[in-house]
Amino acid sequence: MKLQLVTFEQAKQLSNIGFDWEYDTIWMQVEDEESVKCPARSNVMSSFISTYLCPTVALALEWLRKERNIICAVAHYDENYIGEYYFRGLWDYTDSSKIYTEAESTLLSEILNNLNNEKGNL
């Protein structure tokens, strides 16, 4: 099984909150807002206006646990997977999914949205 990489939007949000763990894949954005994934050591990087590290979803969640002290996990209930996280003194839950990787990505997106909204309100 291959681990899922973060989406372009997740990569941008991770960059915005300081994600700096090296990874061998990046998202690159060209002028017309199109984005592509490629190896971090690519020779074509100069033609892109923005680059963002593109870790796996699991690595991004690990970074949030270690660097931001956010308790988060995907749990299995009945037939579904649900993301759980503890943020600013409250437990919260994501929508359920039949697929683990989908639940994991949804969990990451919700935490990143909370962190980026909080950063925007400072």
More confident call, 122 vs 105? 105
Q: Which residue has the higher pLDDT, 32 or 100?
A: 100
Going by pLDDT thresholds of 50, 70 and 90, the confidence category of residue 122 is very low
Instruction: Read off the pLDDT of residues 32-86 as tens digits, 9 standing for 90 and up.
Output: 665 665 555 555 555 556 788 889 999 999 999 999 999 999 999 888 999 999 8
pTM of the model: 0.82
Mean pLDDT across the chain, nearest whole number? Answer: 83
Average pLDDT over residues 75-102: 89
Beta-strand relationship, 50-53 and 90-93: unpaired
**Better-predicted residue by pLDDT, 50 or 4:** 4
